[in-house]
Structure 1
Amino acid sequence: MGSSESKVNTTGRTVEQTKASEVKTGTGQTEGMIRQAAIVGKSDRICGTLMRAQPHSSSAVHHHAEQDTIVYGVSGRGTIAFGPNGQNRVEMNPGDWAIIPAYAEHQEINDGDEEVVWAIVRSGGTPAVVNLKGWGQPPREDQ
């Protein structure tokens, strides 16, 4: 059935699965982070990705346009910086959840010695990532 398996239930709607081996890098990127598409382009209203942050790395300051974002900590310990100049911080441990509102400037940070993995769900069919020149700055031109 191709790269995603679909099954029809009695209501005529399908359940689609993406196997772990089919999760691919290729969604909107910020340096320092590896973003992998898991469920992308299968719904107009929601998508799911993985974010992997290598040890001692951080993303560019960015936002996700009109998309609200839910973050679930899978492994490692990371931080979400947000607010004026990134002065507010939320520590993310395995099992923790966070919500990042649409257009909220933030930065993912991994100050630790192990990879951080977060499962990400966004309110749009394809992830939006708008990298900024810095806190409170316009989008970068290299997008």
Structure 2
Amino acid sequence: MAGLFALLPDIIPMIVPATIQVTKAHDLEAQRAGNESPMIRQGAVVGKSDKMCATVLIAKANCASAVHHHGEQDTIIYAVSGTGILVTNRGDETGPRRQELSAGDFAVVPSWTEHQEVNDTDEEFVWILIRSGPEPVVVYLTDFFGEEVPAD
């Protein structure tokens, strides 16, 4: 009987499927309204799954994010439009690596990898960020190999 109870978490989703979650484009636009930040992050799928989350990143012209990492979360980036630069550390003191992402490109940013999103162009770019875990984790740093910036 104990063996049956151990199988319940695997069997229940097959019997009682989860509800499909949809985020409409107008809900994302509502998050953007009035936001003057050069880097706009819209929560597309946040808190709806215990295994993953997704946000939309809109980078306005000629701006850059702070250097940061996502803790234990792995991140997949899909470039929707425009051209942006993903700056990552190399794991040593040789300096950051710049990689251009254009529409249709994918990138994987492993957990704990320090990185920065940069828009050196006069046009905005849009990226979809999919992370492991139910909520996005962002740890801001003073610079590459820098100290963690205390949360407000």
Distance 2:124 2:53 in 1: 23
Q: How big is the shift at 1:87?
A: 2.4
Alignment partners' CA distance in 2, 1:125 and 1:137:
27
Specify the alignment match of 2:57 in structure 1.
51
Kept after mapping to 2: 8 A contact 1:85/1:136: no
What SS class does the counterpart of residue 144 from structure 2 fall into? coil
Task: Provide the aligned C-alpha RMSD in A.
Answer: 2.1
Q: Does the residue aligned with 2:20 lie in a helix, a strand or coil?
A: strand
- Give structure 1 stretches of 5+ with no counterpart: 1-9
Separation in 2 of the partners of 1:88 and 1:45? 29
Return closer, same or farther for 1:142/1:116 CA change in 2, 3 Å cut-off.
same
Q: Give the letter aligned to residue 13 of structure 1.
A: A
Partner in structure 2 of residue 101 of structure 1? 110
Among 54, 75, 93, the alignment partner of 1:69 is: 75
TM-score by length of 1: 0.84
**Secondary structure, in 3 states, of the residue corresponding to 1:21?**
helix
Partner of 1:14: 19
Q: 1:139 to 1:59 in 2, by over 3 A?
A: same
Percent identity between the two aligned chains: 45
Moved over 6 A (4+): none
Which structure shows the bigger proportion of residues in helix conformation?
Answer: 2
Pairwise CA distance, 1:142: 4.2
What secondary structure, in the 3-state scheme, does the structure 1 residue paired with 2:49 have? Answer: coil
Normalising by structure 2, we get a TM-score of 0.79
TM-superposition CA deviations, 1:45-74 (whole Å, max 9, x none): 100100011100000000011100000000
Residues 86, 106 of structure 1: 8 Å contact kept: no
Q: Which residue of 1 aligns with 2:12?
A: none
Cα shift readout 1:8-55 (whole Å, capped 9, x = no counterpart):
xx85322111101112649xxxx7411110000001110010001110
Unaligned runs of 5+ in 2: 1-14
Give the Cα separation in 2 of the matches to 1:103 and 1:140.
15
* 1:16 aligned counterpart, secondary structure: coil
Aligned equivalent of 1:113:
122
Kindly provide the amino acid, as one letter, of the partner of residue 106 in structure 1: H
Aligned-partner Cα distance in 2 for 1:95–1:80: 14
The match for 1:4 is none
CA distance in 2, matches of 1:113, 1:86: 26
Is the 1:86–1:107 contact (alpha carbons within 8 Å) kept by the matching residues of 2?
no
For the 8 Å contact 1:55–1:112, the answer to whether it is kept is: yes
